Amino acid sequence: MNLPKIINIQKYSIHDGNGIRTTIFFKGCPLSCLWCHNPESQNYSEELMYNEEKCTGCMACIDSCPQRAISKEEKCVVTDKIKCDLCKECIDYCVNNAREIVGKEYTVAQLVKEAEKDRMFYEESSGGITLSGGEVMTQNMDYIEELLKKLKKKGYNIAIDTCGQAPYENYNRILKYVDTFLYDIKLMDNEKHIKYIGKSNNLILENLKKLSEAGANINIRIPLVEGVNADDESIEELIKFLKNNINVHKINLLPYHNTGKSKYERLQKVYEGVNFEAPSKERMETVKGKFEKAGFINIKIGG
């Protein structure tokens, strides 16, 4: 079986569903949000990350690279991604741990074993396991279904954090194992969605409708960015869509943050969200009030 790559197994997570949870982050996403705070999760393959702050310029990585893909520029080293074949030799020679490979393969049994380590916390807090990303629903679905079957057999509460950009058949296949879908919506305006998110929102909205019609428990998560989707028109369009089409259990309003900016530098990528800003606290409260006025009752600012 083709094994997906995992970028992180986060313990004691309290923002990815009810109670205390273990959140498993899968690598690979079909979207490319300009403000993405986990850029290492976008590519489905392994990637090299380099932390300049940890680097002392010892040049051991340069000398160790069989492909001669690493060179020194001013105070840091640069890796030629075309030459680099991720052989990991430089990782072994970096005594300061400034270099790392992101993306590790786990068998289903290994992931279940990791999840089981915190069973006590799940039982005491009504928590469980959350599969996140990247995008879970674009991974190898044989693998995902087997993982969910084994977790569910052990009685764990299961949540899936999804952007919605995946074939609906993938969702339908695992519906019976999932207690909650944490479903992201960014924009109703399709042109703006393509501009800021990289893809049309047609499939995302259609999948959300189908999940609602199938009786899925849905928590809507809305990242809000000033100048992009925090204006009255964007909010009112979203409220209208949800009210007319979706049976919503809960809504999380998530103010923009740039905590992932440094990761772009470590991946030798450009962060295109540098000019984005978070809505003010007052604006976030105003947006919350609009949802409350429309009849939504379970609304939270933050995760």
pLDDT in tens, 213-249: 999 999 999 999 999 999 999 999 999 999 999 999 9
Joined together, the tokens standing for residue 278 give 């978070």
Write out pLDDT tens, residues 122-155. Answer: 999 999 999 999 999 999 999 999 999 999 999 9
Could you tell me the domains of the chain? 5-44+103-301 (3.20.20.70), 48-102 (3.30.70.20)
CA distances (Å), 92 to each of 43, 53, 69, 159, in order? 23, 18, 15, 37
pLDDT at 295: 95
pTM: 0.94
What order do you get walking across the sheet with 248-255 strand by strand? 104-105, 5-13, 21-26, 128-132, 157-162, 180-184, 218-224, 248-255, 299-301
Query: Given this model, what pLDDT does residue 260 score?
Result: 86
Q: Could you give the CA distance from residue 114 to residue 22 in angstroms, rounded to a whole number?
A: 9
Q: Note the pLDDT of residue 239.
A: 98
Handedness of CA 208, 209, 212, 218 (dihedral sign): positive
Our CA angle for 128, 144, 110, nearest 5°, is 70
How many angstroms separate the CA atoms of 132 and 130, rounded?
Answer: 6
Query: Given this model, what pLDDT does residue 1 score?
Result: 72
pLDDT (0 to 100) of residue 74: 78
- Which residues of the chain are under the pLDDT cut of 70? none
3-state DSSP of the chain = CCCCEEEEEEEEECCCCCCCEEEEEECCCCCCCCCCCCHHHCCCCCEEEECHHHCCCCCHHHHHCCCCCEEEECCEEEECCCCCCCCCHHHHHCCCCCEEEECEECCHHHHHHHHHCCHHHHHHHCCEEEEECCCHHHCCHHHHHHHHHHHHHCCCEEEEEECCCCCHHHHHHHHHHCCEEEEECCCCCHHHHHHHHCCCCHHHHHHHHHHHHCCCCEEEEEEECECCCCCHHHHHHHHHHHHHHCCEEEEEEEECCCCCHHHHHHCCCCCCCCCCECCCHHHHHHHHHHHHHCCCCCEEECC
Task: Specify the pLDDT at position 73.
Answer: 85
